[in-house]
Structure 1
Amino acid sequence: MTCNPRWKEIQEALLPGQEPVDRPDIVSRVFKLKLEELKKDLFVKNIFGEVAAWIYVIEFQKRGTSRAAIHIYTDKNGVEHMTENEVNSYLDTRYVCAPESIWHIFDFRMSDRSTPVMQLKVHLKNAQGVVYKEGEEKDAAQRGQLRDTTLTAWFAANQRCYDELESTGMIPEDVVDLPRYLLCRDARAFPNSPKENGSEKKCYKIDWKNAFRFSKRSGKICIESHASKRH
C-alpha cells in the first residue's frame, strides 16, 4: 500500500494554501490510520481468506512517499490461488525524507509480524559455541558442558516424553507436535506444555557438504522426536 497525498482525508486537513509536502505530520498520520484499517481487513475480516502468518515493512520511496510492503501467508484452508509477493528488508543510504522523519518522531513501528521466529542451534556433541573472557577459557569450557543449548534441551524434552510413555503406556500430547508446538522459554529450556503465543523455531541452514551437521538438521526437521544424538 502506497500513500497518496491526494487522499481526501489529507486534503481536508490542510490549511488554505498548504500542500501535502508542507504537512508531513498529517500525511504520516493518515497513512498510519489507513494502514491499521488495511491490517484489520486482511487479518481480522480475512477478505483474502484465512491468514496463517504475516509480516510487513515500511519503506520510504525516493520522492518521500510512504509505502507498506506486506507479505501474507494464507492458511491451507484459505484461498486456492494467491499471487506471491516477497518483502525485502534493505539498507537505505539515501537522505531521510520528511514523512520518514515524522514516522520516527511519532514512534510508529517500521515493521511488524504475526509470529516471532528464533533460530535453533545445530551442533555436534561437545561442539557447541562457548563465550568466554580472556583468562577464563577453562571455566567457560566447563560451564559450556553443563549448560543446555536449544539442541540438547530438545533432546531432554523428548526424553521426558519417552519416560512418560514407558511409565504410563500412553503417548503424551506433547510428543506428537514437539518439533513445532513446544515453547522454548529462554532459548535453552523446553517445558512440557504446548506453545501458546510463543515463538516459532527455525533451524539454521546447513551446507550439505558438512555431512554430520546436515544430517543432524535433517533429522530435527523430518523425524517427530529424538532423545539423543545417537539417533
Structure 2
Amino acid sequence: METEVAGIGEGIWRLSTFVPEVAAPAGFTFNQFLIEADEPLLFHCGPRGLFASVSRALATVLPVEQLRWISFGHVEADECGAMNLWLADAPEARVVHGRTACMVSLNDLADRPPRALADGELLDLGGRRVRWLDTPHVPHAWESGLIWEEVTGTLFTGDLFTHLGRGPALTSDSIVAAAIAAEEAFQASALTPDIAPTLRRLAALQPARLAVMHGSCYAGDGEAALLELADFYERRHAAAVAGA
C-alpha cells in the first residue's frame, strides 16, 4: 500500500492510503492532512502500520522533522495510533487537542506533554490560522473535535462525511449521499440530541472545502452539505427515539 499525495488547497496536502481489504469490495481510504505554514501541522496521524508509508509521503512535501504540531479528531488507532512515532521523528513537534482529550487520555499517552485548547481557541501557525472546535460525541467519542483553517476556509471534518471507495482527492460533486450510505452500513455515529445542532453550528462557518478523513474531499458549498447531513441525523435520531 502506497500513500498518495495531492494538494486540495493552497498549502494543504492530502496524504491518502487506499486499503482494499477494509469495507471490501469497495475499499476504504485513510487520509492525513498536512497544513504548510511557518509551524506546519499534521491532522490525523494514521495507524502505526501505515506510518512508514505516510511519513515517506509527507517527506515529499517537507522534511518530517519540520513538523511543529500534530492533531486529530479523537482517540482511535486510525487517528492517533502513530502519534508517538511522529513525535519521535519530529523532535520539535507537539500534540495539540481539546482539553477533554488531554485530560482523559493524551497527558498519559503522548510521549511529550500535549497542548490543550479550549473550544474556539485559535492556534496561529504563521500564515495559517487553525481554530479548535469541540464536537463531543459528534460523530462519536467524548473528546471529539475538529479544526477550522480560517485563511483557506477549510473544515477538517474527521469521521464526518466518511464514505467508501477510491474516489478523487478532491471533488465538487456532492458526497452527502455516499456519507449517508456509509453511516447506514457502519452505524458509527452517536445518535445524541446534539448531533444535528453541532453540524448546523459547523455549517455556519460556511466552509469552502471539507477535508474528509475517509473518502474524497469536497470543494463547494460546505454549508449546504453540512445542513443536509444534519437533517439526515435529525431524522435518524427522531426515529431512534420513537422506536425506543
* TM-score of the superposed pair, with normalisation by structure 2: 0.23
Higher strand share: 2
Higher helix share: 1
Structure with larger Rg:
1
